[in-house]
Amino acid sequence: MATQHATDEAAIRQQVDNLIDGIRARDLDGLKPLYATDIVSFDVQPPLQHVGAEAKMKNWVDVFTIYEEPHYEVHDLTITVDGDVAFAHSLNRLSGRLTNGTTASGFWVRFTACFRKLDGKWLIAHDHVSLPLDFESGKALMDLEP
């Protein structure tokens, strides 16, 4: 059981590494197979939810329209797994060179990814990425540090 958990956790960590690599390379073909076809995604940008892998990929297209060289770091990734279900969370930082020529100093987001093992592969069945907000101003807090 402990060995199986360790094997599964390593496979999930590899999928998160694949996510980082896919974002840095702006590689839509590399990113799409990480997601379950029926993923429900709560992403930083609207709408409230993206349902299905196609909708999720459109969101990545939007990000890559803004970022020429996106740099995505995952910090303190914690994975909990049993059987065919797992969840992972971390604090991630997005920065990089923009398509408009400027370089974004970056901001931290909270990252939650929930996995299902489908046909032997750990796929992201649900994810949630966000920033906290300040209720007084209605502004997202983009300058917070962990």
3-state secondary structure the chain: CHHHHHHHHHHHHHHHHHHHHHHHCCCHHHHHHHEEEEEEEECCCCCCCEECHHHHHHHHHHHHHHEEEEEEEEEEEEEEEECCEEEEEEEEEEEEEECCCCEEEEEEEEEEEEEEEECCEEEEEEEEEECCEECCCCEECCCCCC
Number of residues in contact with a copy of itself under rule CB under 8 A: 43
Interface residue with a copy of itself among 13, 26, 71, 89 (CB under 8 A) is 89
For residues 4 and 21, which CB has a smaller minimum distance to a copy of itself in the complex?
4
For residues 54 and 62, which CB has a smaller minimum distance to a copy of itself in the complex?
62
Task: Name the segment binding a copy of itself (CB under 8 A); options: 9-17, 22-30, 75-83, 95-103.
Answer: 75-83
Is 23 near a copy of itself (CB under 8 A)?
Answer: no
Is 114 near a copy of itself (CB under 8 A)?
Answer: yes
Task: State the residues that interact with a copy of itself by CB under 8 A.
Answer: 40, 42-49, 66, 78, 80-87, 89, 91, 108, 110, 112, 114, 116, 125-126, 128, 130-135, 138-142, 144-146
